[in-house]
Structure 1
């Protein structure tokens, strides 16, 4: 089943509008963490990955 994370749900100064989707939860978490580290300056930690997993939705991102 398709899953997604929508960056618009996380307040940021840059008002990021990226949504990332994947069929596999681990793939989605890896992509979202890479985005958060590269664009938002986050750190890849187990706690941060747990927070990302909590933000996963089933389906496709809304337009």
Structure 2
């Protein structure tokens, strides 16, 4: 099983967050991403947030260069 990641640089934010979170399992990654979203970005831990985060999980490692941000 390969690494999985979520890259905060792909989403617009006022703070231009440059965090990328990686883990060996989707569950571990999801928990870390939820904690980041709640503590750093002020989101509420809701089923909708978890579904959104689950939908943006990618296989592999985040790129070194920041991807273009979503509009």
2:18 match? 17
The equivalent of 1:4 in structure 2 is 5
RMSD between aligned residues: 0.5
Alpha-carbon distance between aligned partners in 2 of 1:10 and 1:40, rounded to the nearest angstrom: 12
Once the 2 structures are TM-superposed, how far is the Cα of residue 24 of structure 1 from its aligned partner? 0.4
Runs (5+) with no aligned partner, structure 2: 65-71
- Normalising by structure 1, what TM-score? 0.97
**Equivalent residue of 1:40, what SS?**
coil
Per-residue CA deviations over 1:12-60 (Å, capped at 9, x if unaligned) read 0000000000000010000000001000000100111000001101000
Query: How many correspondences in the alignment?
Result: 63
Q: Distance in 1 between matches of 2:47 and 2:35?
A: 13
Computing the radius of gyration over CA atoms, which structure comes out larger, 1 or 2? 2
Structure 1 segments of 4 or more deviating over 4 A?
none
